[in-house]
Amino acid sequence: MTKKLNSKYIIIGAGLSGLTIAYYLLKNGESDFIILEGRDRVGGRINTKDGIDLGATWFQNHHSNLNELMDSLMLNKFEQYSKGQSVLVYNTMAPAHYFESHQISPSAYRIEGGSATLIEALTKNVKNKIKLNTTILELIDDSQTIYVKTNQGVFSAEKVVSTIPPKLSATLKFTPSLPENILHAMEQTHTWMSNAMKIGLVFKKPFWRNKELSGTVIGQVGPVIELYDHCSNDGRTYSLMGFINEGLRDVSPEQRKERILEYLEKYLGKEIRDYISYFEKDWSKDQFTSCENLKSVYMSPQYGNPLFDEYYFNGKLLFSGTETSPEYGGYLDGAVYSGINAAKELLNRD
């Protein structure tokens, strides 16, 4: 292997955490880094299609790291629409329960223009540093250098920060092997979004609002678990977006779509079938998010294991990503927090 370094730092992953690291390195005068990304796009689990956030979507005012980052990027937020009656389906044999949202409850916010707007802003100054379609195969500790073997060749650096979800990191080859305790922690850490199935429907007009419905459907039973108004803040696009029952993986796409539409027609009206476009995203089938030993987690998973705060490979390998964050792990804010911390670690250790 060549001894010439490709860069001072390698960031693995061009999701929110990886791009936040890059943003803060540049902000502090450090530009000697590259970003390796396995997908054919940037964003990771942020994935906006035709205005619909099929990945990460919401955040709140107390998510200070994300809010401060958005302010520095001059991005706007707006409140999740919740006016009108919402629907709770707790028994398909009983009438649905209609209720009004409490305005005093903490508001959820969305990013104006979709969550991908955040990724676009972070990517703006580092496009030439990102190498897409680059799958990580092995990380090698060799004296003062760390080598990253990929399907696109071998890259080398003084330090590497990996933002690959811990459970997926555990499937990589490390030479020499990482300590058993960190490998065990990786294997036991649930990957946020890995079991989620999301849908989005775009319409010519927000028919539910005209019927004084909020667009919110909460289903304790049936094909749709959660559905929300997902219209753009500028009034240009009208859509609904939500999560569907994992059991629908077992039926064909056509059957799945029909069950979803039939269910929503019952509670929102026949207008649900007048959609312009229909999207699905099954994150369990995303090779850079999920893996074979996927487990569905319905209770709040544990994130931020202290082992992820330590350096490995004799001070050359650091881990980042929302699952590693002790603050709001599994949220957008956790990804930003971990990215900022990783950047600080790199800058302070030199």
Burial of 293 (0-12, 13-18, 19+ CB in 10 A): exposed
Same domain, 153 and 259: no
> Could you say which DSSP state residue 6 is in?
S
Percentage with pLDDT > 90 across the chain: 87
Query: Residue 232 and residue 112: Cα distance in Å, rounded?
Result: 7
Q: Compute the CA torsion angle 4, 7, 9, 10 (nearest 10 deg).
A: -90
pLDDT, tens digit (0-9, with 9 covering 90-100), for 40-59: 999 999 999 999 999 999 99
Q: Residue 235 domain-assigned?
A: yes
Same domain, 252 and 313: no
What pLDDT score was predicted for residue 3?
Answer: 47
Cβ neighbour number for residue 28 with a 10 Å cutoff? 12
What pLDDT score was predicted for residue 249?
Answer: 93
Q: Residue 268 domain-assigned?
A: yes
Q: Residue 62 domain-assigned?
A: no
Q: What φ, ψ does residue 327 adopt, rounded to 5°? A: -110, 120
Domains identified in the chain, total number = 2
pLDDT, tens digit (0-9, with 9 covering 90-100), for 182-240: 999 999 999 999 999 999 999 999 999 999 999 999 997 899 999 999 999 999 999 99
Q: What φ, ψ does residue 103 adopt, rounded to 5°? A: -70, -15
Same domain, 125 and 247: no
What CATH number corresponds to the domain at position 22?
Answer: 3.50.50.60
CB 278 within 8 A of CB 201: yes
Residue 18 has pLDDT above 70, yes or no: yes
Same domain, 91 and 230: yes
Query: Residue 83 and residue 80: Cα distance in Å, rounded?
Result: 9
In which band, very low, low, confident or very high, does the pLDDT at 289 lie, cut at 50, 70 and 90? very high
Is the overall model pTM greater than 0.85, yes or no?
A: yes
Same domain, 97 and 184: no
Task: Give, in order, the Cα–Cα distances in Å from 300 to each of 51, 297, 304, 323.
Answer: 28, 7, 13, 12
> Could you say which DSSP state residue 31 is in?
-
For 228, the domain range is: 77-111+195-285
Same domain, 186 and 199: no
For residues 109-130, one letter each, b for 16 or more C-beta atoms within 10 angstroms of the residue's C-beta and e for the rest, the string is bbbebbbbbbbbbbbeebeebb
Q: What is the DSSP string of 68-103?
A: HHHHHTT--EEEPP--SEEEEES-TTSPPEEEEPPT
CB 269 within 8 A of CB 82: no
CB 124 within 8 A of CB 14: no
Q: Residue 166 domain-assigned?
A: yes
Residue 26 has pLDDT above 50, yes or no: yes
Same domain, 125 and 183: yes
What pLDDT score was predicted for residue 151?
Answer: 96
Query: Residue 118 and residue 73: Cα distance in Å, rounded?
Result: 8
Same domain, 40 and 126: yes
What CATH number corresponds to the domain at position 98?
Answer: 3.90.660.10
In which band, very low, low, confident or very high, does the pLDDT at 94 lie, cut at 50, 70 and 90? confident
